[in-house]
Structure 1
Amino acid sequence: MIRFIVLAAIILLNVPAYALAPVQKVISQNGIEAWLIEDHTNPIVSLHFGFEGGSAQDPVGKEGLARLASATMDEGAGEWNSQSFQARLNDLSITLRFEASMDRFGGHVLTLRENLEPALEMLNQALLAPRFEKDAIERIRAQILAELRQREEDPDTIAALNLYQSIFADHPYARGSKGTIEGVQNITQADLHNFVQTRLNRRDLKIGVSGDITATELKTLLDKTFAALPEKTENRPVSDAVLHLDNELSIIQKPVPQSSILFVQEGVERHDEDFYAAYVLNYILGGGGFSSRLTEEVREKRGLVYSVYSYLAGYQHADLWIVGAGTQNARVKETLDVVRAEWKKAATQGVSAEEVRDAKTFLTGSFALRFNSSDNIAAILLGMQMDKLPIDFLEQRNKQVEAVTPEDVNRVAKTLLTPDKLKAVVVGQPEGL
């Protein structure tokens, strides 16, 4: 327990300056690659890893397989059963977690430097020899099913699932990343073992590391941890999604005092030359919190909502631009009208040079706040690789934001915003619709 408190204190104090050490590409003897930022300020190490291919590759009828695997792989592995595995993590103050998203399966390890080797030994066993004991599977399965049943009553979740089902149709993205009740119930112990054997491989592996470790030390540990994985496996292919978008409004009746609202239109691909212009535009429209147009028009001027927001959602096979809000049932129609009007106004009239300047100032100035711990840095290094960004991205990112001009933003607003295809879903009991 004392070790855990010490580790937590170190994490809170581990706030490196933005002048980070350079990103090093570390390649082990067996060809396993990791991106590393050394930080010897505090004796902790964080390693984030990810495999391409997430819940979108779950078989039909087994929706939730990647998620259940992520929740049970640390419930006993190798010589340790569930109880002894978790006890050893606790005794050594090791954080070991797995997670599954639509396009990715992975996890992370956070540990004191002195416990790095046993931490990675446990990760190795969880990847190669998870026990998937039946009692652990059923315990975790029950927790996931309870959460899924609870989500069935949550208006925000209902809106999101309905929206994805309507725009993605028969594409795997329509199922979301959490799984379904029926799918999770159908998953067997053999399915979980097969998942590990067929979905995890060195070809699809990306690794980000930060903390009190050198490149030389990391090379050896990479092989010890990951070299025994198969070189490649044949993952189920996922095609690019065809989006079904129009200005249709879907209403799902649910007896709640406040309706949940979601809008969606097509987004912009991460490597598109107009991505940063769209990124700045999104901040101006709804990504800037109290500084955004939607907050000003929908909340501040009219008091329609407590919060309204927008964001760019990028997936491997689709890109979305999403707007969300919640309001009283009596004020849903007005909220819908104002959001659509602001979307159209930006598309037809553009934004001001002052708005662009203020957005760029915030987006560049706040970038440094992301690097407030070795754990966050390791996660960013992994994300860079999964998104196929260059190794010098951290040095180039703010320059790319700064290079965006008001003309760029207004050109993108005119060409990318589609107010006539801003699809919407409302969950609640909206009046006047």
Structure 2
Amino acid sequence: HYGDHPYARNPLGTEETIRAITREDVEGFYRRWADPRNLVIAVSGDIGVHETLSAVREAFGNFPRHKSFFPIGPMPVPEGGGIRRGEEPREKEQAHFLIGYTGARITDPDRYALDVLGSALAGMGGRLFTNLRDKKSLAYSVTSFSSEQVDPGFFAVYMGTSVDKRDSAIEDTLREIEEVRANGVTAEEFERAKKWMIGTYEIGLQSNRAYADKMLFNELYGVGYEEAFREPERIEAVTLEEVNRAAAKVLRTDRYTIAIHGGKK
């Protein structure tokens, strides 16, 4: 669906490409990307700073720089538009689908607004759960989320449903999304989402590994390791107007992708 853009490639590869990989390919990949200029080390815990720095220098001080260096950087947004649909039929009782929209980079100002939007629609108190599962009995499971990376990410709605309800579930989900795009989320949904996100953030950082992961990826992705500790204030600073503006911008009726697994065409 994405032409020559890397988004068109299966991250797992194909049987043909995997069988064709050689030792020289692996060594070349290592030389291209495993460079200290692409390296971030994150450490968290009851540690001594000087002892840690000494250990890092001893372990990585002689890490050679390669003559050819390919810094990690963002890819362009794939061109084109329209509605894309990918379907993989399976003889199963359940069907699963994702409706996805081009989202934000991790450095974009809309990042936290989209996170709040995803949380506002998701969960047992969210309108997707209430309207599609409780009232219409269309879903086993339904949620929404925003994923931001160095490259443009995506905003998506996921549902697991029965095969016989699949098509009507897709239609009703698109109607719910269009309602959000046109009219936004309510103040009640907005406040509930922010409280849930901040509480989840605190719970998620109860281990040193979680702290290290947050610091590492924020530094590697170019927003700085300190951003890992600023998330609650960033979330709290998001306004209802920003969330609804992001919804109107991202949830385009003329540009999205539907991926379906299960059920016959």
TM over 0.5: yes
Query: Contact 1:248/1:423 (CA < 8 Å) preserved in 2?
Result: yes
Where in structure 2 are the equivalents of 1:300-311 lying within 5 Å? 300-311=134-145
Offset, 1:195: 2.9
Equivalent residue for 1:339?
173
SS of corresponding position for 2:43 = strand
Where in structure 2 are the equivalents of 1:241-256 lying within 5 Å? 241-256=77-92
Query: Contact 1:250/1:425 (CA < 8 Å) preserved in 2?
Result: yes
Change (3 A) 1:394 1:254: closer
Structure 2 distance, partners of 1:318, 1:381, is 20
Structure 1 distance, partners of 2:105, 2:24, is 37
Offset, 1:200: 0.7
Change (3 A) 1:364 1:295: same
Offset, 1:236: 8.8
Residue-pair matches, total: 263
Equivalent residue for 1:234?
69
Answer with 397-406 or 225-234: which moved more. Answer: 225-234
Instruction: State the structure with bigger RCO (CA 8 A, min sep 6), 1 or 2.
Output: 2
Please tell me whether residue 267 in structure 1 is matched to residue 88 in structure 2: no
SS of corresponding position for 1:381 = helix
- Larger Rg belongs to: 1
Query: 1:187 is matched with which residue: 21, 27, 33?
Result: 21
Offset, 1:342: 0.7
Offset, 1:239: 4.0
Structure 2 distance, partners of 1:184, 1:230, is 28
- Aligned-residue CA RMSD in angstroms? 2.2
- TM-score normalised to structure 2 length: 0.90
Structure 2 distance, partners of 1:356, 1:323, is 17
Structure 2 distance, partners of 1:296, 1:244, is 34
Offset, 1:267: 0.6
Query: Contact 1:340/1:422 (CA < 8 Å) preserved in 2?
Result: no
Q: What code does the residue aligned with 1:240 have?
A: P
Q: What code does the residue aligned with 2:113 have?
A: A
Query: 2:12 is matched with which residue: 178, 191, 205?
Result: 178
Please tell me whether residue 278 in structure 1 is matched to residue 109 in structure 2: no
Structure 1 distance, partners of 2:22, 2:84, is 40
Q: Per-residue displacement from partner, 1:125-177 (whole Å, max 9, x unpaired)?
A: xxxxxxxxxxxxxxxxxxxxxxxxxxxxxxxxxxxxxxxxx2x3222232232
Q: Per-residue displacement from partner, 1:339-392 (whole Å, max 9, x unpaired)?
A: 101110001111111111111111112211121211222111101102222343
Q: What code does the residue aligned with 1:189 have?
A: R
Please tell me whether residue 363 in structure 1 is matched to residue 197 in structure 2: yes
| Structure 2: gaps spanning 5 or more residues | none
- TM-score normalised to structure 1 length: 0.57
Q: What code does the residue aligned with 2:154 have?
A: L
Query: Contact 1:266/1:320 (CA < 8 Å) preserved in 2?
Result: yes
| Structure 1: gaps spanning 5 or more residues | 1-165
Offset, 1:314: 2.3
